[in-house]
Amino acid sequence: MTIAVSYFGLSLDTPNLHGDAYVNCFLSAVVEVPAYVLAWLLPQYLLCRYSMATALFLGGSVLLFMQLVPQSGQSRQVGLVVSSTLDSNLYYLSTILVMVGKFEVTAAFSMVYVYTAELYPTVVRNMGVGISSMASRLGSILSPYFIYLGKSRGPRARGSDGAEALVSWNAS
C-alpha cells in the first residue's frame, strides 16, 4: 500500500513541480520507461526481494534528501549580491531529485507484483495477490490526499513519499 501511495503521489504531483507542467509530465513519462526495463532485468540477476528493497531504499533516500534543498523564496546571499541564479539551479536540482526518486519507486512498484506472487505458497497465491492488489488500490485512493497535504503544507510533503518508501524497504 505504501509503494502505491508513493508511486501515485509522485505521478499525480508532477504538474506541481517548478517549471513547465508539460515538460515535467513528459519527463515523468520518460523516466518510467527505463524504470520498467530495470525492473525487468534486475530480478533476473538478483533475488526479487533484494532488487525491490534496493529500489525502495534508493528512491526513499533520494526523496528524503530533497528535504535538504532550500525552499524557494528564501533569500540567499552569495558574496555581496543575492543570487537568483541559485534559485533556478535549485529548481532544476529538485526536479532531478524527484525524477530519480520516481524512477526508483516506479521500478519497485512494478516489481512488487512479482515479489508478491513469489511470497505466497501455491495454495493461497491467488487470494494473497488479490488482497495485496486491493491494498495497493487503497493506497492509490489515498494518494490524492497526500498531494492535498502537500499543497497545504508546502513542498516539503514529498518527504512523506520518501518516508513511505523507506518504511516499505524496512518491511521487505
pLDDT band of residue 169 (cuts 50, 70, 90) is low
* Residue 148, domain extent: 2-171
Mean pLDDT of the region 3-22: 84
pLDDT value of position 152: 62
State the pLDDT confidence band at 120, using cuts at 50, 70 and 90.
Answer: confident
Give how many domains the chain has, as a whole number.
1
Apex CA 101: angle with CA 36 and CA 132, to 5°? 60
CATH number at residue 6: 1.20.1250.20
Q: Tell me the pLDDT tens digit for each residue of 34-55.
A: 999 999 998 888 888 888 888 8
**76-101 residue pLDDT tens:** 544 444 455 556 677 788 888 889 99
Predicted confidence (pLDDT) at residue 26 exceeds the cutoff of 70: yes
Q: What is the pLDDT of residue 79?
A: 47
What pLDDT score was predicted for residue 100? 92
Alpha carbon separation from 15 to 28, 97, 98, 142, 144 (Å, rounded): 10, 15, 12, 18, 13
All residues at 6 or more sequence positions from 10 whose CB lies less than 8 Å from its CB, including other chains: 28, 98, 101, 102, 105, 158, 161
